[in-house]
Amino acid sequence: MKRYIALLAFCFLTLPVFSQDPSALLSSLPQAKDYVQHRVSSYDRSGGNADARTIGAGEALTLLDADGPGMISHVWVTIASDDPNHLKALVVRMYWDGEAAPSVEAPIGDFFGLGLGDYHLYQSLALSVGADKALNSFFPMPFQKHARITVTNEGAIKTDSFYFNIDYRAYTKALAGDQLYFHAQYRQAAPNHGWTNQWRSNGDAIINDKKNLNGDGNYVWMEATGRGHFVGVTMSVLENQDGWWGEGDDMFFVDGEALPSINGTGSEDYFLGAWDFGGRPFSYGLYGAPVVGQEVAGGRWSLYRFHLDSPITFTKSLRATIEHGHANHRSDNYYSVAYWYQTEPHAAFPALPPLEQRIPRIYAVGGPGNAAK
């Protein structure tokens, strides 16, 4: 037991701490703190109860504009909007130390793991959605000089009520030189075009005999250059075709590898489930499948995996990918946000797709359950 407690303390002192982790919280309580706690929020400055902000169509709201050194420890948001697509229409961006391009850019729903444009409850160490429609992030986000967070309404309908609380620590001394910056990148493939639609089941020889050693055609979660470590991904799938979508291996290419040094055995295996998730949703601290649908065209799935136990490190570059079906034969819709820490400057993000393309819908791609040819 003493060895276990010592290990917890070591992890607390040497790794980014996730504020919702009970073990880290308890082990650190006796330690003196060297920061001043701050919060920025949407509270009513007059002292009344009008604690929300509106965001007009095409407008941006600044949530945080703070000087460093500091560390964001928690972000809470809840939204009331008549726009049925507001989780896709509102885009969150985060900028560290005066950078021109954001280190975080994603539709707000996707950032919090709601990749299909609607709400569901789940709990993990890094992200959670509580009742009712309470969006929480516990990712630590350090900054040396300045931090700015904005939310932009890219839809045509005004957001009536946007509530937020952002907790951060202000320090008097510069953060340690080895502190890396938090990044989150949205990607989608709608549809995620497979190499064939001439198949009836995942067991067809034309599918099973296809080889994919170098990740050609894989869905890409993120690509980064610099030094850093990958800490996880949230991903949602809308099936365009019948059958099990998850016959796809995760592949991580570290520092320019031609072949992945990390290669998994299947999509549900990467998200730490098994056997098509057994038809049952679940959510745990580091992994989960809080939305488990039917294995038919129109089936909806949402998943997450966080590598907090052992982040995937890179010194020059990282390309994190997963197959869509075995050797990329399926043509379903994928929506994802990858989360990692790295040095600055970061590589340019791919352009955010326009709102109309971000809204999930079934595409005519052919194959089982899909009439198009």
The 10s digit of each residue's pLDDT in 287-325 is: 999 999 999 999 999 999 999 999 999 999 999 999 999
When pLDDT is averaged across residues 136-146 and rounded to a whole number, the result is 98
When pLDDT is averaged across residues 141-153 and rounded to a whole number, the result is 98
Q: What percent of the chain has pLDDT over 70?
A: 94
Does the reported pTM lie above 0.85?
yes
Predicted confidence band at 13 (pLDDT cuts at 50, 70, 90)?
Answer: very low
pLDDT of 59 reads: 98
When pLDDT is averaged across residues 216-224 and rounded to a whole number, the result is 98
My answer on whether omega of the bond before 191 falls inside 30° of 0, hence cis, is yes
pLDDT of 312 reads: 98
pLDDT of 20 reads: 59
The answer, yes or no, to whether residue 202 has pLDDT greater than 50, is yes
Structure tokens at 337: 């946000």
pLDDT of 148 reads: 98
pLDDT of 158 reads: 98
At 175, phi and psi to the nearest 5?
-70, 160
Element (H, E) at 77: strand 70-80
Q: What are 79's strand-pairing partners?
A: 162
pLDDT tens for residues 82-121? 999 999 999 999 999 999 999 999 999 999 999 999 999 9
How many Cβ atoms sit within 10 Å of the Cβ of residue 366? Answer: 18
Contact 162, 332 (CB under 8 A): no
How many helices (H) and strands (E) in the chain? Answer: 7, 23
When pLDDT is averaged across residues 35-55 and rounded to a whole number, the result is 98
Topology alike, domains 34-171 and 181-358: yes
When pLDDT is averaged across residues 163-181 and rounded to a whole number, the result is 96
pLDDT of 25 reads: 82
pLDDT of 177 reads: 87
Phi and psi based region of residue 268 (left: phi greater than 0; alpha: psi -120 to 50; beta: remaining): alpha
Domain extents in the chain: 1-32, 34-171, 181-358
The answer, yes or no, to whether residue 5 has pLDDT greater than 90, is no
At 275, phi and psi to the nearest 5?
50, 60
When pLDDT is averaged across residues 340-345 and rounded to a whole number, the result is 97
Range 213-217, long-range pairs (CB < 8 A, 24+ positions): 213/259, 214/258, 214/259, 214/260, 215/251, 215/253, 215/260, 215/319, 215/321, 215/323, 216/328, 217/323, 217/327, 217/328
pLDDT of 102 reads: 98
When pLDDT is averaged across residues 204-214 and rounded to a whole number, the result is 93
CATH topology of domain 181-358: Jelly Rolls (2.60.120)
Q: Which residue in 373, 362, 369 sits closest to 201, CA to CA? A: 369
When pLDDT is averaged across residues 121-128 and rounded to a whole number, the result is 97
pLDDT of 372 reads: 64
Q: How high does pLDDT run on average in the chain?
A: 93
Residues 6+ apart with CB under 8 A from 333: 188, 189, 190, 191, 192, 237, 238, 239, 240, 360, 362, 363
pLDDT tens for residues 255-282? 999 999 999 999 999 999 999 999 999 9
pLDDT of 90 reads: 98
Of 1.10.600.10, 3.30.530.20, 2.60.120.1390, 2.120.10.80, which CATH number belongs to 34-171?
Answer: 2.60.120.1390
Predicted confidence band at 351 (pLDDT cuts at 50, 70, 90)?
Answer: very high
